[in-house]
């Protein structure tokens, strides 16, 4: 399994995230968001680091506002961690890779 970042959408969110066998990290972002672009390489690195243990994907909030609305997303970037179909952690804004890894490890434990 490669550490590829998956594109989540309104149509595949249920299947890809809520019904996933493994925990899922969802990056909610938009093309015009500077901090989102700063966080993108970190998310891609984590996707490789946790390949096989964690599914990593992105939701463009401009293309899929229903997903953002469903989870009450007010600011981007927002990272949501799901386990067993439930949101178990929410990280708003740009945080260091080490902090993200620590919170992912907690969900995977």
Told to judge if 36 belongs to the known catalytic residues of this protein, a careful annotator would answer yes
Angle (deg, nearest 10), helices 97-108 and 34-49: 50
Catalytic one of 33, 59, 68, 79: 33
Alpha helices in the chain (DSSP H): 13, 34-49, 65-70, 97-108
Rounded Cα distance between 47 and 56, Å, is: 6
Q: Which of 36, 43, 59, 81 is catalytic?
A: 36
Residues 6 or more apart whose CB falls under 8 angstroms from that of 62 comprise 30, 31, 32
Taking phi over 0 as left and psi of -120 to 50 as alpha, with beta for the rest, 49 belongs to: alpha
Residues with a known catalytic role: 33, 36
């Amino acid at each position: 399994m490669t550490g590829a970042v998956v594109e989540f959408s309104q149509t595949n969110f249920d299947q890809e995230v809520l019904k996933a066998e493994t925990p899922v990290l969802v990056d909610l972002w938009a093309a015009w968001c500077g901090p989102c672009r700063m966080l993108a390489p970190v998310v891609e690195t984590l996707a490789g680091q946790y390949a096989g243990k964690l599914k990593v994907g992105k939701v463009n909030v401009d293309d899929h506002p229903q997903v953002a609305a469903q989870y009450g997303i007010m600011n981007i970037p927002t990272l949501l961690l799901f386990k067993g179909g439930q949101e178990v952690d929410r990280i708003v804004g740009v945080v260091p890779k080490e902090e993200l890894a620590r919170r992912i490890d907690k969900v995977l434990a």
